[in-house]
Chains A and B, each alone.
Chain A
Amino acid sequence: MASNEEILAGLAEIVNEETGLAPEAVELDKSFTEDLDIDSISMMTIVVNAEEKFGVRIPDEEVKNLKTVGDAVSFISNAQA
């Protein structure tokens, strides 16, 4: 079970690998599409890598609700609980 800080750091690493964005830029209040400029295909890649890293399942219909980095951290944290 990872803490929220660990989930955020892990997500930042995944985002960095997919997009080249600096991990520090991946903050809880940042929107994936508007602030980080992540398109729908990159988002799916990030989701699948996050599933693998954190051992959770993020259904397709849930992906639309993950607007900010914070939304993703909360979802993963709850899914792990």
Chain B
Amino acid sequence: MSVPSLKQSNVHEHSRIVGLGAYRPDVIVTNDDVCQWIDSSDEWIRQRTGIVTRHRAPAEISVIDMAEGAAREALDKAGIDASQLGAVIVSTVTHPFATPSAAANLADRLGATPAPAFDISAACAGYCYGIAQGDALVRSGAADYVLVVGAEKLSDVIDNSERTISFLLGDGAGAVVIGPSDTPGIGPSVWGSDGSKWDAIGMTHSLLDVRDHAAATHANEEGAVAAAAAVWPTLRQDGQTVFRWAVWEMAKVAQRALDAAGITVDDLAAFVPHQANMRIIDEMVKQLKLPETVMVGRDIAEAGNTSAASIPLATHRLLEENPELSGGLALQIGFGAGLVFGAQVVVLP
């Protein structure tokens, strides 16, 4: 019996970012605001973190609303219609439903239905994970255009009175469209995980604990809601462990991404690391021995740490302030809870 030969997808030889968009919610939280909740000062916060303000979304603005704002700009800049999207990927850890995904709803709002749509849970590495997947989908021929969004409403999962991470965090969304290209536009992704440090950053407890606490303390529905709110999980981190890992381990990952792309720091126009802390950014710049000609994304001063949204937001700011960077090479690296990390060199749109 002869085996029929299968047809496989037609490949695109290269891919690149063809459009970028951003959404910044309009509530500005200053360091003085933060100091109402923790015993600190504007000077202390600036010196330790480089953060001056962060944007936070009001109650009526959801993760999907922010994702939509960023996605519409990215589609517009790319000059493509949502109906041309072959996949919609949203990186988020703050979409408040385990299911259905934020991406399915976003795809429908944009008019991308029936494009495949799914969320990624890779915290602050989520955007680079999304780029790795979008690049692979386009080059394999599985999709012509892929929308990758990093969107976070971290203000929903913080405890303003705790000191390890909450005061760093902001809300926002960034999005890109990845499409076929005549020339290489996305270098090999260097990505991975280290689950041995699963406890270094994450939620205080699971949703099962919320359920059990509510059930144990209150029988009636009103009481249960109040009890659940009292044990609402929020973010924590072991700052020193994360700092050491972020700087010295991630500088090596960033270097591997440069090597994999066949370039050196001298070829870079920009460096856009995850906006975790200005001190981490400064130390990485030092470790990588970046020449002064390389523009460094420092959006954290104004936007705080926005997890999966931080790299596209920082890239968006760099391109707005320095339009001549368009077409240049940017090294981007995300790292965070998991622990997980991802890096690649991209041609800036």
Contacts and interface: CB of A to CB of B under 8 A. Distances in A.
Interface stretch (A8-16, A28-36, A38-46, A71-79): A38-46
Contacts, number: 26
B248 interface: yes
B279 interface: yes
Which secondary structure dominates where chain A touches chain B? helix
A48 B244 CA distance: 8
A44 B241 CA distance: 9
B248 A41 contact: no
A40 B243 CA distance: 9
A67 to B, nearest CB: 14
Interface in B246-260: 247-248
Interface string B103-143: 00000000000000000000000000000000000000000
Which secondary structure dominates where chain B touches chain A? helix
Interface residues of A, number: 10
A44 B48 contact: no
B8 interface: no
Contacts of B244: 44, 47-48, 60
A63 interface: yes
B327 interface: no
Nearest to B245: A60
Contacts of A39: 48
Given A44-B240, A44-B243, A60-B244, 6 more contacts: A39-B48, A40-B239, A41-B48, A41-B239, A47-B244, A60-B240
Interface of B: 48, 238-241, 243-244, 247-248, 277, 279, 283
10 contacts: A40-B243, A41-B239, A41-B277, A41-B279, A44-B240, A44-B244, A48-B247, A60-B238, A60-B244, A63-B240
